[in-house]
Amino acid sequence: MKYCDLHLHSTLSDGLFDIEKIFKTASKEGISAISITDHDHIPESGYRYYSDKYRVEYIPGIELTTYYNSYEVHVLGYYIKPTLELTALTEEINESRFKRVEQICDNLAKDNIVIDREDILKHKNPGRPHIAKKLIEKGYCKSFNDAFQKYLGNNSKYIVPKFQVSTEKGIEIIHKSGGLAFLAHPVYLKDDRESLNKIISFNIDGLEAVHSLHSAVDEEYFRSIAKENNLLVSGGSDCHGGIKNGKILIGKFKLPYSELKRIKESIK
């Protein structure tokens, strides 16, 4: 039986593996198809080279950061094209991250809490965890938890609001790019069926039922919701290159290839 992993991250966002290592690992694990869904990053043409080299089918993808009410909602887009609107949106999201880090560092500096921001800004996806690391290195905090409690919590005076794209708008832009939109790791909304139903009403195409955070019960639950709403099902490891229980996640949380076939058949 053939399997795929449709949720992976590379060094182009917050992953630890470069593009070639992802394809090489997928091939070694017997995965037939993958989608590299970097955060707010449009895939590049060079991926096809590694797809051919390692004989692993490649599906263009993205994980778009959106917001609905108090939730940060990640939307997976498959078979997207680099349209002007999607390109402009991802550029704005990514530029806002760098500006936000600068502003948080400025706010900390006003209270004589000075850290090396240039080192933080070298990251492709800088954020509060990188600031926390520097606060620990400089001796302002003892741990990440300490850093967030003292300086980086959501209600801290040092924190700057994030640039926000609505979930409905994100789904719309994915559709305009020729892609299909799926709700990533819906387990975060498991206890809020009202919000889940509202997001489904935004013409989302499917739910990510298979995920490393999901139990077998969770998977069955989200498959049943997908069936109730005539939605497609996707899935993947959400591997960022880390190791869980001594194993790399690629290939450990896999989706039957038959589900990918249904996704392909739905492309308009």
Q: Is residue 173 part of a domain?
A: no
pLDDT higher at 11 or 231: 231
Which secondary-structure segment (H or E) carries 52?
helix 47-54
Backbone CA torsion sign across 124, 98, 171, 220: positive
pLDDT digits (tens, 9 = 90+) for 179-229: 999 999 999 999 999 999 999 999 999 999 999 999 999 999 999 999 999
Query: CA angle, corner 32, sides to 30 and 35, nearest 5?
Result: 115
pLDDT digits (tens, 9 = 90+) for 30-78: 999 999 999 999 998 889 999 999 999 999 999 999 999 999 999 999 9
Say whether pLDDT at 243 is over 60. no
Taking a C-beta distance cutoff of 8 angstroms, is the pair 232, 182 a contact?
Answer: yes
Q: Quick one: pLDDT at residue 268?
A: 66
Say whether pLDDT at 246 is over 80. no
Question: What percentage of the chain exceeds 70 in pLDDT?
Answer: 97
The residue among 134, 152, 170 that closes a domain is 152
Query: Residue 60 sits in which domain range?
Result: 3-80+179-266
Q: Is residue 93 part of a domain?
A: yes
Which secondary-structure segment (H or E) carries 249?
none
> Do residues 58 and 187 share a domain?
yes
Q: What are phi and psi of 207, to 5 degrees?
A: -120, 145
Q: What is the pTM of this model?
A: 0.90
CATH number, domain with residue 140: 1.10.150
> Do residues 235 and 213 share a domain?
yes
- CA dist 34 and 137 (Å) reads 37
> Do residues 73 and 120 share a domain?
no
> Do residues 67 and 198 share a domain?
yes
- Domain count across the chain: 2
